[in-house]
Amino acid sequence: MASGSPSLMWFRKGLRIHDNPALEFACKGSNRLYPVFVIDPHYMEPDPNAFSTGSSRAGLNRIKFLLESLVDLDLNLKKLGSRLLVLKGEPGRVLIHCLKEWNIRKLCFEYDTEPYYQALDTTVKDYAVSAGVEVFSPVSHTLFNPADIIQKNGGKPPLSYQSFVKLAGEPLPPLSNKVSSLPPVGHLGSCEISEVPTVKELGYENVEQGQFSPFKGGESEALKRLTECMEKKEWVANFEKPKGNPSAFLTPETTVLSPYLKFGCLSSRYFYNQIQEVYKTMPKHTSPPVSLVGQLLWRDFFYTVAFGTPNFDRMKGNRICKQIPWQDDEKLLEAWREGRTGFPWIDAIMTQLHKWGWMHHLARHSVACFLTRGDLFIHWEKGRDVFERLLIDSDWAINNGNWLWLSCSSFFYQYNRIYSPISFGKKYDPKGDFIRHFLPVLKDMPKEYIYEPWTAPLSVQTKANCIIGKDYPMPVVSHDSAIKECRRKMGEAYALNKELNGLVSEEDLKNLRRKLDKDQEQEEAAKPKKRFRQQLIG
């Protein structure tokens, strides 16, 4: 390759300057650098049919977070003598056009394990190689290369966290050199370049400021958050994942760095490195899997399993997923999604998700368990779709991995252990401040009834200006009977999976569903008789 030829840095995730091997390589021996981001219409264009404001793929909170991250990246590039070139269209086509138009000799972009990007990257790479363009696509979104771990494990992904950690070892350190300047942008030719669009310019009209997440996107924000977090040395050293208060919302009891890791505004290697520096100054610290380092390893674990498992994002054809005859009930799904289940703890969390695009990990556990194996017995894929759309930190591998886990479809199989939609939140927030904040309709309900407002006497409901069944819904299920029903169904599904060694067909599931429905009908029919017997005995 001739010295001083033009290179293209294609940003997708990895929206940062620090610890960015693709950017560093793009600058080497290049006299011109084209930093490009392509606005993908299927990710950004408004979809009027979606259940919340946003595109067909993402809610508005995440789109806004991405735009803020791009504005910040542009500012940081400008400080180094460059700028972000924003183009619009199908990324593959746009990129190939740019490679031709600017006579690019070197194409650099961060490797991505998601199926969507795997397909896209193959198209772009194939063209680049045929045109004699050098391609450099390093793994820098995760601590480790998932392909290396799978190879070490004999071609299969490790299916437990412990086996993953044993194989992984120590990650490579982040790039130590700070970027002080970048080659200038070359002539733009006929490529249509724009500035980073605003939410309004993308077609989202009538959106009020107050509707957005309190978390702002961008590398600058990520590094500021990281610094503030690392200054609390004792907190960092004593961090334990199962602990932490899911109802703390004004100051969340967690780092809230997940959205910055998701978009690559923060390098996971740099984060890992910073935690280790804090550990060196402390007499003792927690260990994986519960420590802060443990959380980064969990992230890599899910990335590795997701990368090595065909159909990881669905039940059917997924060899590590139990086949369960989930029920299909649009009304129940909608009540859960819109925060109208009649269980204030669940509804407050779902309202926070809609408003902020974020909630504490234990809050996520509560609502995911409630939707699937806890109360409603609805397919985890349906819940996954809602999270995928609304979370600002929605990450393909981690979102699917967590739903598989929380529905007891994979990784975790103690389906009898259920998060109560009543007592779990009460343990952290006995006064119900979290509920009062996100469900103002219940703000005057006395604390004795805030988690179960349907049990409040009518006089109390009247005084609180909240009549249950009118101002706030009645519970969509009776938790006590729903939990029994779910356990019975999970037990039968597990038995079938064991009997057929996991090779459960569509027909087998249909038959089990019929049997479960029939058992439920018989159970319902027997109830009046039972009550009558009890009255006679009484």
Binding-site residues from annotation for FAD: 254-258, 295-302, 393-395
> What's the chain's length in residues?
538
Angle subtended by helix axes 361-369 and 344-356, to nearest 10: 120
Sheet containing strand 106-108, strands side by side = 85-88, 33-39, 7-11, 106-108, 134-136
- Asked if residue 357 lies in contact with residue 390, where contact means CB atoms within 8 angstroms, the answer is yes
- Asked if residue 332 lies in contact with residue 378, where contact means CB atoms within 8 angstroms, the answer is yes
37 token code pair: 């981001």
C-alpha pair distances (Å), 98 with each of 29, 101, 116, 210, 481 = 20, 5, 21, 39, 61
Question: What Rg, from alpha-carbon coordinates, does the chain have?
Answer: 26
Please tell me the distance from the alpha carbon of residue 7 to that of residue 28, in angstroms, as a whole number: 9
- Asked if residue 197 lies in contact with residue 39, where contact means CB atoms within 8 angstroms, the answer is yes
User: Is residue 54 left, alpha or beta, with left meaning phi > 0 and alpha meaning psi from -120 to 50?
Assistant: left
Please tell me the distance from the alpha carbon of residue 270 to that of residue 21, in angstroms, as a whole number: 12
Please tell me the distance from the alpha carbon of residue 529 to that of residue 490, in angstroms, as a whole number: 27
Please tell me the distance from the alpha carbon of residue 166 to that of residue 169, in angstroms, as a whole number: 6
C-alpha pair distances (Å), 12 with each of 146, 155, 266, 396, 422 = 19, 28, 14, 14, 41
Please tell me the distance from the alpha carbon of residue 374 to that of residue 424, in angstroms, as a whole number: 13
- Asked if residue 271 lies in contact with residue 296, where contact means CB atoms within 8 angstroms, the answer is yes
Cβ–Cβ contacts within 10 Å for residue 359, how many? 24
3-state secondary structure of 282: coil
Closest to 140 (Cα-Cα) out of 169, 109, 115? 109
Torsion sign over Cα 98, 195, 394, 205: negative
Please tell me the distance from the alpha carbon of residue 208 to that of residue 215, in angstroms, as a whole number: 16
Please tell me the distance from the alpha carbon of residue 68 to that of residue 510, in angstroms, as a whole number: 47
Question: Burial of 92 by CB count in 10 Å (0-12 exposed, 13-18 middle, 19+ buried)?
Answer: middle
